[in-house]
Structure 1
Amino acid sequence: MTATAAGRQVPVGALLRQWRRQRGLSQLALAVEAEISTRHLSFVETGRSTPSREMVLRLAEQLDVPLRERNRLLLAAGYAPVYSHAPLDSPELRRVLDAVRRVLRAHEPYPAVAVDRRWNLVAGNAALPLLTTGVAAHLLRPPANVLRLTLHPEGLAPRIVNLTEWRAHLLGRLRRHLGLTADAELSALHEELQGYPGGPAEPEAELPRPGDVVVPLRLHHPGGELSFLSTVSTFGTPLDVTVEELSIESFFPADDTTAAHLRKPTP
């Protein structure tokens, strides 16, 4: 979504209508959730009524619009943004960055990374080289994109035992995130990743085998195959765009062999 098109400002009503349709909601459904009349919502969407700042924020909340886009909605309506957007290394976010680094360190000896909204690497812990060993240098140059370096043929992909399965999992996550954010750069990244070898351009959903509960990441390793489960953490009550867009992915050993290997003292 964008507040401009062909060099002109898109009215806030048109942007709200785009987000409503993106979420698959009717005017009636959104009006009920926002506790306003369908007539009022229709007037807002067509530009016959100018919404207050509070109304823009109420509708954005019901539509689960990202904070970045809520600021754009406010600008389109003629109001100042209300959500800060501070750099991660700014004094305002020092405590946030410290918390991220503490979480990453606490997860050692298992790998963990912090990424931004486009899966660009923000930070990693001391166990990250377990995943990046052998990855081409150009894929690690900032801003390194973790999806690209995972699925690129010069990245982690040659070491992934279940590449087709893991690729389908990552592309599915990216599609879901794209559906939430409508981000043009993520759409371009999705198209790029689809072109990498390792499976069909648009992987079909795979039925889980008996006993399967999550998709593991299985890696070739000189010491034997390593298998990981992953979890994703975000900040629960963000009021800053940068904070909302941060996430931490933590990898846990999926079997005793992997756990024992990772707990071995480094020579």
Structure 2
Amino acid sequence: MTRPARPVGELLRDWRRSRRMSQLDLSIEAGVSTRHLSFVETGRSRPSPELILRLAEQLDIPLDERNTMLLAGGHAPAYPSHELSDPELAPVRAAVRQILDGHSPYPAALVDQHWHLVDANPAVALFTAGAGPHLLTPPINVLRLSLHPDGMAPRILNLPEWRAHLLNRLRQQAATTNDPVLYELHEELRGYPGSNGHPTPISDAVSSVVIPLHYRHDDQVLSFVSTTTLFGTPLDVTVAGLAIEAFFPGEAATTEALRAFGTA
């Protein structure tokens, strides 16, 4: 990694403002004086790596951006960034594989911080069936696959509702990480049509609790609820960006249909 062009004080100030915290708020949370924090932000004081990491922790800054701040301050990065195939991440791969396999015959996928598909169990084929080849060429972006007119969108019966859910989630993620890739993806997805032209109002018990995914597969309507699993207390940049998106049947008929499809 090369040293960023911007000084660490400017980076810190931008993150603080993005979190809507005053210097006083941050100084109290981090246990430093407001005067010292001001000196750091204006470049009058060079922060130690310990102080940078303490402030970054309070601001909930992503691990890769913490490394950037350390480099900007003239220090070595604190967090490694391995490839998922590296030996160091073997326990992570094993845990992911166990979750994905154990979730069959229900769909589950591993995605990275930009929503690219990293791994999946066979049941995810329910969602990729019928999608345009250009959406299935790696790297596959699962949000683009979900909302693109050539992807899942024509088969999502509650598309406006599901689209709003995904866009809101992506917007919040982009704001939290300040990741330009996510902002660009959000703008792209906002331009896709929001309705398939054939809305099918569905009223069921799950709809009053969470936002479901009502999806047509062949001649059957499947109802799903989704969960997201993250790795707790990650210390590797790659691991911090991983998430497992799992789909559970929202009703008994979907459970029976998935078992009958033999997708395990």
2:210 paired residue number: 214
1:264 paired residue number: 260
From 128, 135, 148, the equivalent of 1:132 is 128
2:176 paired residue number: 180
2:71 paired residue number: 75
List per-residue Cα deviations over 1:155-213 (Å, max 9, x = no partner): 000000000000000000001100110001111110000100115xxxxxxxxx99711
Kindly provide the amino acid, as one letter, of the partner of residue 141 in structure 2.
N
- Offset, 1:151: 0.3
1:54 paired residue number: 50
* Normalised TM-score (structure 1): 0.92
Match of 1:128, SS state, is helix
RMSD: 1.7
Distance 1:100 1:143, change over 3 A: same
Matched, 1:228 2:228: no
- Offset, 1:58: 0.3
Matched, 1:191 2:200: no
- Offset, 1:236: 0.4
Q: Which runs of 4+ in 1 moved over 3 A?
A: none
Match of 1:99, SS state, is helix
Q: Distance in 1 between matches of 2:218 and 2:8?
A: 56
Matched, 1:16 2:22: no
Higher mean C-alpha deviation, range 143-152 or range 91-100: 91-100
Matched, 1:39 2:46: no
2:148 paired residue number: 152
From 84, 106, 127, the equivalent of 2:102 is 106
- Offset, 1:222: 2.3
Kindly provide the amino acid, as one letter, of the partner of residue 241 in structure 2.
E
- Offset, 1:263: 1.6
Count matched residues. 253
Q: Distance in 1 between matches of 2:118 and 2:245?
A: 11
Q: Distance in 2 between matches of 1:211 and 1:229?
A: 9
Q: Is the 8 A contact 2:210 2:225 kept in 1?
A: yes
Q: Distance in 2 between matches of 1:172 and 1:20?
A: 23
Match of 2:71, SS state, is helix
2:249 paired residue number: 253
2:239 paired residue number: 243
Kindly provide the amino acid, as one letter, of the partner of residue 23 in structure 1.
R
Q: Is the 8 A contact 2:109 2:246 kept in 1?
A: yes
* Normalised TM-score (structure 2): 0.93
- Offset, 1:221: 2.2
Kindly provide the amino acid, as one letter, of the partner of residue 218 in structure 1.
H
Q: Distance in 1 between matches of 2:174 and 2:206?
A: 30
Match of 2:77, SS state, is coil
- Offset, 1:91: 1.0
Match of 2:130, SS state, is coil
Match of 1:251, SS state, is strand
Distance 1:46 1:146, change over 3 A: same
Q: Distance in 2 between matches of 1:210 and 1:228?
A: 9
2:89 paired residue number: 93
- Offset, 1:131: 1.1
Q: Distance in 1 between matches of 2:124 and 2:245?
A: 11
List per-residue Cα deviations over 1:200-232 (Å, max 9, x = no partner): xxxxxxxxx997111001011224210100000
Matched, 1:123 2:119: yes
- Offset, 1:152: 0.4
- In structure 1, list runs of 5 or more residues that go unmatched: 200-208
Q: Distance in 2 between matches of 1:73 and 1:265?
A: 50
